Amino acid sequence: MSKKNQNLIDRIAEEARKGRISRRDFMHYSVAAGLTASTATGLWTTSAAAQPKSGGTFRWGIHDGNTSDTHDPGTYLTRVMIFLAHTHRSYLTMINGDGSLGPDLADSWEASEDASEWTFKLTENASFHSGKKVTADDVIASLNHHRGDDTTSAAKALLTDVTDITKDGDYVVKVALSRGNADFPWLMTDYHLAICPANDDGTIDWKSGDGSGPYKIDNGEFGVQFSLSRHDGWHREGAYFDKVEMITLNDPNARQTALVTGDVDSVSQVDLKTMALLQRDPNINVLNVPSAGAITMPMFCDTAPFDNVDVRNALKLSIDRDDIIEKILFGAATKGNDFHHSPAQPYWPDDIPQREYDPDQAKSLLKKAGAEGLTVSISTADSVSAGAVDMAVLYAEQAKAAGITINVVREPNDGYYSDVWLKKPFCLVSWGARPTPDVMYTLAYKDDAAWNESHWQNERFNELLLQAKSELDDTLRAEMYREMAMLARDDGGTIIPFFNNFVYGARANVGTPENLAASWESDGARAASRWWFND
């Protein structure tokens, strides 16, 4: 490119950053200066992103929603439930676009010296959509919803160390723990811990769908669609759209078509097989964000044949992760190593040897276990992740070299997480990002966790998990997490083929911030409140 053309591109990019040029003129001049349409579109996105504008209706096509979904935060599970929660409800804290921890209902928080007591000071500007102010009573009732012997909440394991929750006036909440936990404010971002209005008896009103988030629900039906409008009492930045339409689109073809035709403004997941084709469309931006999410393949460790550790490790050795990432993910992933401790989280143990595809060693382990000629079934569905069914089929082909027959069971999208996950002994699961290893291990690896998806029991692992929570020495804490990772890798019941990128799409007129959160698809599930229309 000539220096003259480069100078022209620099000038029009600067005009876009200052909001002085329309997208149409920007594209015209950029192409005239020698850029391709797709390159010009990407430059427009980064140049004009810093100028949020208000107005319009944001139509959002979301994968993974069921007719059995509910407003009960203890049951949140599917993407539609999670994304809706981040749109119409609030949390004490939130994960910012750059991955840092920021305020939501809590303006600030501080710990006692040993991190066994945390004090959260609430904003006095927050209100529920019903008009009621958000106070300490609402926070206490909402957290207690996930505590106690009678709770059915999936987040119970996160709050087992909480011994008491009290208030100091209407806008200060104190949480006492049985042991120190340096990560406690991060726990408050867990998507189950949404703050709902308190009832007089100390329970919460979750059935009404009332919340204090950026948008209020006007009407809707799970598994179909929700219509929302801006909450005038939203207490933080954002909420640029006037209205939001959240549409459940489980079928990848229907989702892709809706984006291409302009029937929706954004989709939460792009079909990776057509990602390159979409990237050539000047009307679409494909957003490819490395994440701390993961695809897991849990095996019930208390169910034959997975109750034999040699069988479990043979299945781990029979998957060619590099081949899957290349052929199914088209490079949009980071290789996993069979412990759910993402490279994006702190204390990542990068010195642990990478498990590689080794069907000969797998054969040897199966012979040792008396399980030669092993046959197993694995369940999956299109809604689990982009290419989930194709991935399972490719894994089955790879495992043949170890003498293993894997029958791939294609399950219905609707009801997958209520009827398959935690019920069938071998399946595919998509996990969103968790901010720290403690959160992930507590949710899915702790012996009594409701979401211990592999039914794994390891006494040493659980000892280390409790010790690491209250260890304030970073070096010692890192050593504990490394040992836990090794235990999960070599004894655990979960195959982790990769940490998937979040690949989603938006029409070119949708503005996005410079940093997109890696905690969930669609900018940490907050596209509705963080994005805007450029024109």
> For 103-109, what is the mean pLDDT?
98
Q: Is the pLDDT of residue 12 over 80?
A: no
Q: Which two tokens stand for residue 212?
A: 């204090």
Fold assignment, 294-500:
Dipeptide-binding Protein; domain 3 (3.10.105)
Q: Is the pLDDT of residue 482 over 70?
A: yes
Q: How confident is the model at residue 363 (pLDDT cuts 50, 70, 90)?
A: very high
CA distance 412 to 419: 9
The pLDDT tens digits of the residues spanning 449-478 come to: 989 999 999 999 999 999 999 888 889 999
> For 146-164, what is the mean pLDDT?
94
pLDDT confidence of residue 30: 76
Q: Is the pLDDT of residue 529 over 90?
A: yes
The pLDDT tens digits of the residues spanning 32-51 come to: 777 777 677 777 666 655 57
pLDDT confidence of residue 305: 98
pLDDT confidence of residue 18: 47
Which amino acid type is present at position 449? A
pLDDT confidence of residue 2: 60
The CATH number that domain 57-64+213-290+502-533 falls under is 3.40.190.10
CA distance 105 to 125: 9
Q: How confident is the model at residue 4 (pLDDT cuts 50, 70, 90)?
A: low
The pLDDT tens digits of the residues spanning 273-313 come to: 889 999 999 999 999 998 878 999 999 999 999 999 999 99
- Tell me if residue 111 falls in helix, strand or coil: strand
The CATH number that domain 90-187 falls under is 3.90.76.10
CA distance 209 to 18: 39
Task: Give the position of tokens 């382990």.
Answer: 365
Please, which residues have CB within 8 angstroms of residue 410's CB and are 6 or more apart in sequence?
A: 380, 381, 389
Write a three-state SS string for 254-312: HHHHHHHHCCCCEECCCCHHHHHHHHCCCCEEEEEECCCCEEEEEECCCCCCCCCHHHH
Domain positions in the chain are 3-48, 57-64+213-290+502-533, 90-187, 294-500
Q: Is the pLDDT of residue 191 over 90?
A: yes
**To the nearest whole number, what is the mean pLDDT of the chain?**
93
Q: Is the pLDDT of residue 242 over 60?
A: yes
The pLDDT tens digits of the residues spanning 107-133 come to: 999 999 999 999 999 999 999 999 999
> For 248-260, what is the mean pLDDT?
96
